[in-house]
Homo-oligomer: A and B are copies of this chain.
Amino acid sequence: MPPNVLVVGSGGVGAIAALSLSLNGKCNLTLVVRSDYDKVCSSGYTINSVTYGNLDGWKPQNVARSVAEAAEQHGPFDFVVLTTKNIPDGPAKCEDIIRPAVTDGLTTIVLIQNGIGIEVPMVEQFPNCAILSAVSRIGSANINCVVNNLHKDLIRLAPFDNANIDPTVLAAKARKFGLLYQNDDRSVNEVTIEDKAATARWEKLVNNAVFNPITAISGLDINRCQINGANAAIFGPAMDEVYAIAASEGVEIDPASKDKYLHIADGLFFSSSMLVDLQKGQLMELEVILGNPLRMAARNGVSTPILSTIYEMLKMVQFRTKERLGLVSINEADYKQESSDEYPAIFARSQANSGN
């Protein structure tokens, strides 16, 4: 019997992962689809992919409304592939999202997600499961079941260390998943198996930890920031901090790469995912992109004045979103203070509508 694979998350990356695994025909595939469930069951996806071509009405082998339903109807799973956003400070931690579909000692968990340190809670929660860490470069968006994939599907895949599982077993799991995903023709897609995921993750973070937070705060796309001098004033200095944290974690990124990363979005007027999330009123992947790296920096004694300032700001921005979403609430009356002065003089003019 071919391996049983579940893909969780049916955004641009998840839909393409399900498609690739299906087209290769080496596994039984189930895709969890929440809000679009009825639409996918009735009319499938429209795929416009530079990797896999154009398809009309493509339907995954199995579709489930939830992870629990997938487990009940199509489990147990040899592989659970997680492609959702990773927001540990949000309402659902990734470990909890996939838990119903994870079988202790059987399931291998594949994280096709951004960020640093995302494997750690998985190993903690599922100590007898192999964790594979995948960094995807694909450029894919799923809007109302129309999937536009603009870039060749490239995946750098590595096992994540687990004290309970022999490294050779972990490596074998990575090779096995690679075979399920890799097309026979490597010009189509390309899965590269590496010993460790850290290098791939940190290299991607050079852009993600810098462009994402700064464009989210400024409300500008990357190019508009650059037109305002951001490369010299803040993108570059912030990238230096990412390189330094990576080095403190034993990952040396070639300093010459900085120029490439600084100019990677030139001319594209690209809005980062954090900016898009913020504008949509959604939570951002703040902790895995910035919080975890900064906790490593603090542990390793790396100075990060720029990224730390940005992180403190974005934690408050994230709080604003949480309050709007009803995830937290503030009862102002709890904070009212006795005051000898009903209005602090320091705020002169501050409330003034001095519009003239």
* Cα–Cα, bound, A316→B227 (Å): 10
Q: How many residues of chain A are within 8 Å of chain B by beta carbon?
A: 91
Query: Are B335 and A267 closer than 8 Å at their CB atoms?
Result: yes
Partner of A214, one of B225, B270, B313: B313
Query: Are B267 and A353 closer than 8 Å at their CB atoms?
Result: no
Most B Cβ at <10 Å: residue of A143, A223, A310, A347: A347
Query: Are B227 and A335 closer than 8 Å at their CB atoms?
Result: yes
Most B Cβ at <10 Å: residue of A204, A267, A341, A352: A352
Q: A163 to chain B: which residues have CB within 8 Å?
A: none
Partner of A207, one of B35, B223, B323, B346: B346
Copies in the complex: 2
Segment with Cβ contacts to B, from A21-29, A99-107, A132-140, A244-252: A132-140
Query: Given A266-B335, A356-B33: A317 and B218 within 8 A (CB)?
Result: yes
Binding site for B on A (CB under 8 A): 8-14, 32-35, 83-85, 113-114, 135-143, 150-152, 154, 204, 207-208, 212, 214, 217-220, 223-225, 227-228, 230, 233-234, 261, 264-270, 272-273, 276, 305-306, 309-310, 312-313, 315-317, 319-320, 323, 330, 332, 335-337, 339, 341-356
11 CB < 8 A contacts A-B:
A10-B356, A11-B352, A11-B355, A12-B354, A13-B348, A207-B346, A217-B313, A218-B317, A219-B320, A225-B316, A266-B337
